[in-house]
Amino acid sequence: MEMRSVPEMFGENVFDDRVMRAVLKADVYQSLRKTIDEGAKLDNNVAYSVANAMREWALSKGATHYTHWFQPLTGVTAEKHDSFIEPSPDGGVIMNFSGKELIQGEPDASSFPSGGIRATFEARGYTTWDPTSYAFIKDKTLCIPTAFCSYGGEALDKKTPLLRSMEALNKQALRILRLFGNDTAKYVHTSVGPEQEYFLITKEMYDKRPDIQYTGRTLFGAKAPKGQEMDDHYFGVIKPRVQEFMNDLNQELWKLGILAKTEHNEVAPAQHELAPIYSSTNLATDQNQLMMEIMQKVAARHGLVCLLHEKPFEGVNGSGKHNNWSMSTDTGSNLLSPGETPYENAQFLLFLCAVIKAVDDYQDLLRLSVATAGNDHRLGANEAPPAIISIFLGDELSAILEAIENDAPYEGKEKKIMKLGVDVLPRFARDTTDRNRTSPFAFTGNKFEFRSLGSSNSIACANMMLNSAVAESLKIYADRLEGSENFEQDLHAMIKKTIKDHKRILFNGNGYDDAWVKEATEVRGLANYPTTPDCMPHLLDEKNVAMLTAHKVFTVAELNSRAEIMLENYSKTVLIEANTMLEMSRRLILPAIEAYANKLAGSVSAKKAVSPASACLYESDVIAKLSDLADKVYVGANALEKTIKEASEAGDIVNESMFIKDNVIPAMNEIRKAADEAETYVAKDCWPIPSYGDLLFSVK
């Protein structure tokens, strides 16, 4: 453990603003800052100067290689390392890195998913430096955050559309601010603080579990006698070994300039959470990817394995990610914070309404932005928000909106009808708590918390949809208000109309309740897409394509390719699980059942030899039971094998993923049921894989 103070080590491996200010010439720094803050076009000479400074800085930190670090559609980050060395005329080497190498790279893109955008003969793809996210050093390698696109300029990554969505929101939000007389704000950006959940198990247990190794989750395992029913893990005392891991992790993250702040035990045994302090969405996205990677590396150093899968254990709470999101100006004013003056409050209500309208109009986009095979196990399973998107505002704010909608007096302190732009919004208590954890999208005082994300999701997907949808609401408002003859009146009318049109999305009740599903779908007409194959095709619905292309977040070709890639990811994930299950059934589970039954049969013969009249009740009952269960596993495995084959003949990817959902997954469930029951009859030392008890309570 290092003894240096946190401020000393914080950000030491990051080419951040402090370093840039110190090592760049003043004009270069100013120019780069303009690019970072306001999206001004980057001057090539500036890039060349930055590259020189970056090289010197990286070499002084002992770096030997550099890489363009990017986020292809596989969902994880990619890097290809090049060393700085270049031959020098005297036969030696010099350490070189030029502006050209900083700005652009050309990885062989042919093996990254492109969803048909890039014909194979055109394997080239480009990575381009994203100056808005800081370069950093990891394992002696200078990592340069980059965007990744095809030769034709189509985005092949998650960063590009995210940056475009931030730009779209910036543009529309500024229009609104100008209408409210704000002429000073230069830009509006969105901030995110992602809370990350994860499990820790020992490496020893992991090594004995092919399912976790291949798929990240358990495909077999009977319930442990103790789970989370006592609620004794949540915020409980952190075990020493976990505490050591967390200390080490914090240090690594701090060195990388990641503001790791809170850590605690989560609901399930072996489950924990880490939350950083929020930052600009682009930076937060890169840092969350980095954080997930570092968590796994640090865990390995402690003989542990960090599981980021959404549902590693059946019957035990899975892991998610809470995306705390807000919009603010460069001058630091949070647009989702109620203000002090009537104008500020009217502005707050308009931004609030923009989000309400966005979430209602684009429920499907938000839903599909968090859809993966892993997250399908969580959403709607009474441990995470339902697959139905709705907004929690809290009672007080809801009452205010209702009063505005009905021109009714608000039953606050003053009891008067509010005319926006004239009256100050009554002071209401901020609902900053997590009291309603069942809502997928909750207002928590000055930010929204989107809680449906899976623990392994890149937060880029959710935020690009959220930013775009809100940009669209703001655009509609700005279009209307810019030409208005009577601003206050039209503003009031528009807020009222939004509340009227979109109040169906507001729900403060219990999202886990079955009655809610009925009400949401049958009465309110909200979308309910329980699985990835159900929702993903809606990415290509006309209204969604129109909105996303209008704001230049995606091209039509990019949307087509993404829908395809996401469904392909789904199918591949489930098929890998199915094949793992098949192999484990035939080569581990069935032989273990058989061996144990055989052992019992041997014991029957031995007993009868000594006492011919003995009933051998235990043995014969268990043998009969195991024989029946073994047959079920065997028949189930054959059926699973058949559906796996059929899946490949199901047609296009939409049909294939549907087929997999409707046939492969149920076939897997059948096998699991029988195998898990068999586990409860077989002696512990005869069962081939560690039990749930072993896994969940392995870290002492």
Footprint of Mg ion (CB under 5 A): 322
Q: Which is nearer to Mg ion, 194 or 210 (CB)?
A: 194
261, two tokens: 């702040």
Nearest residue by C-beta to ligand ADP?
193
Nearer of residues 443 and 659 to ligand ADP, judged by Cβ: 443
Q: How far is the CB of 437 from Mg ion (least distance, A)?
A: 8
Q: Which does 193 bind (CB under 5 to 8 A by kind): ligand ADP, Mg ion, none?
A: ligand ADP
Cβ atoms of residues 14 and 134 within 8 Å? yes
φ/ψ (deg, to 5) at 314? -70, 145
Size of the site for ligand ADP (CB under 6 A): 17
Q: Which is nearer to ligand ADP, 432 or 627 (CB)?
A: 432
Pick 453 or 526: Cβ nearer Mg ion? 453
Q: For 525-588, give the secondary structure using H, E and C.
A: CCCCCCCHHHHHHHHHCHHHHHHHHHCCCCCHHHHHHHHHHHHHHHHHHHHHHHHHHHHHHHHH
446 binds, among Mg ion, ligand ADP, none (CB under 5 to 8 A by kind): ligand ADP
Structure tokens at 657: 């993923």
Closest residue to Mg ion, judged by C-beta, is 322
Q: Which is nearer to ligand ADP, 146 or 287 (CB)?
A: 287
The token duo for 642 is: 């058949």
Residue reference for tokens 């581990």: 588
Distance, in Å, from the CA atom of 245 to the CA atom of 262, rounded to the nearest integer, reads 14
Binding to ligand ADP, residues 396-435 (CB under 6 A): 432, 434
Q: Does 492 bind ligand ADP (CB under 6 A)?
A: no
Residue 466 tokens read as: 């959220």
Q: How far is the CB of 400 from Mg ion (least distance, A)?
A: 23
Closer residue to ligand ADP in complex, CB, 391/623? 391
How far apart (Å, rounded) are the C-alpha atoms in residues 296 and 302?
Answer: 10
**262 or 669: whose CB is closer to Mg ion?**
262
Please state the closest distance from residue 279 (CB atom) to Mg ion, in A: 16
CB 402 within 8 A of CB 408: yes
Least separation in angstroms between CB 434 and Mg ion: 5
- Rule CB under 6 A: choose which of 172, 287, 289, 324 binds ligand ADP: 324
**Residue 191 contacts ligand ADP per CB under 6 A:** yes
Token look-up 């924990």 returns 272
Q: Is residue 473 classed as helix, strand or coil in its secondary structure?
A: helix
Backbone angles phi, psi at 15, to 5 degrees: -85, 75
Residues 88-107 that bind ligand ADP (CB under 6 A): none
Q: What tokens appear for 549 in the block?
A: 């292309």
Among residues 422, 476, 129, 427, the alpha carbon closest in space to that of 286 is found at 129
- Cβ(167)–Cβ(160) below 8 Å: no
Q: Which does 316 bind (CB under 5 to 8 A by kind): ligand ADP, Mg ion, none?
A: none
Range in contact with ligand ADP (rule: CB under 6 A) among 159-167, 223-231, 275-283, 491-499: 275-283
**Could you tell me the CA-to-CA distances from 444 to 156, 447, 674 in Å, in that order?**
34, 6, 45
CA torsion 106→111→117→120, rounded to 10°? 90
Question: In terms of CB distance, is 259 or 665 closer to Mg ion?
Answer: 259
Using the Cα atoms of residue 682, residue 687, residue 691 and residue 694 in order, give the sign of their dihedral. Answer: positive
Figure out which of the listed residues 99, 105, 145, 193 binds ligand ADP, where binding follows CB under 6 A: 193
CB 495 → ligand ADP: shortest distance, Å? 22
Per CB under 6 A, the list member of 302, 447, 502, 672 interacting with ligand ADP is: 447
Contact segment (CB under 6 A) with ligand ADP among 81-89, 173-181, 206-214, 444-452 equals 444-452
User: With respect to Mg ion, which residue has the nearer C-beta, 29 or 441?
Assistant: 441
Please give the Cα distance from 66 to 136 (Å, whole number).
10
Binding mask 503-542 for ligand ADP (x = CB under 6 A): ----------------------------------------
Decide whether 167 or 266 has the Cβ nearer to ligand ADP. 266
Q: How far apart are CA 244 and CA 237, in angstroms?
A: 13
* CB of 189 or CB of 322, closer to Mg ion: 322
Q: Would you call 433 exposed, middle or buried from its count of C-beta atoms within 10 A (0-12, 13-18, 19+)?
A: exposed
Residue 534 φ/ψ, nearest 5 degrees = -70, -40
Q: Which stretch binds ligand ADP (CB under 6 A): 192-200, 367-375, 396-404, 598-606?
A: 192-200
Nearer to ligand ADP, 275 or 644 (CB): 275
Residue range at the interface with ligand ADP (CB under 6 A); choices 63-71, 274-282, 294-302, 555-563: 274-282
**Of residues 189 and 321, the one with the C-beta less far from Mg ion:** 321
Contact partner at residue 143 from ligand ADP, Mg ion, none, CB < 5 to 8 Å by partner kind: none
Q: Which of ligand ADP, Mg ion, none interacts with 447 (beta carbon under 5 to 8 A by kind)?
A: ligand ADP
**Residue 85 identity (one-letter amino acid):** I
Contacts of 409 (CB under 8 A, 6+ apart): 403, 415, 416, 417
CB of 445 to ligand ADP, least distance (A): 8
How far CA 11 is from CA of 19, 255, 290, 305, 607, in Å, comes to 10, 5, 14, 26, 71
Among 14, 63, 102, 275, binds ligand ADP (CB under 6 A): 275
Per rule CB under 6 A, is residue 467 in the interface with ligand ADP? no
Q: Residue 334: name its binding partner from Mg ion, ligand ADP, none (Cβ under 5 to 8 Å by kind).
A: ligand ADP
**By the rule CB under 6 A, 317 interacts with ligand ADP:** no
To Mg ion, the closest distance from the beta carbon of 451 in angstroms equals 8
Among 296, 334, 579, 655, which residue sits at the site for ligand ADP (rule: CB under 6 A)? 334
Q: Which amino acid is residue 150, in one-letter code? A: S
Long-range contacts from 203-208, C-beta under 8 angstroms, 24+ separation:
203/300, 203/303, 203/304, 203/305, 204/303, 204/698, 205/305, 205/690, 205/694, 205/695, 205/698, 206/305, 208/689, 208/690
Which of 68/322 has CB closer to Mg ion? 322
In whole angstroms, give the CA distance from residue 83 to residue 97: 9
In this chain, which of 278, 351, 362, 681 binds ligand ADP, going by CB under 6 A?
Answer: 278
Which one among 250, 446, 549, 560 touches ligand ADP, defined by CB under 6 A?
446
Q: Which does 326 bind (CB under 5 to 8 A by kind): Mg ion, ligand ADP, none?
A: ligand ADP
CB of residue 638 to ligand ADP, shortest distance in Å = 48
Q: What's the min distance (Å) between Cβ of 636 and ligand ADP?
A: 43
Q: Which has the closest alpha carbon to 389: 515, 551, 564, 525?
A: 525
Which residues here bind ligand ADP, judged by CB under 6 A?
191-193, 195, 275-278, 324-326, 334, 432, 434, 444, 446-447
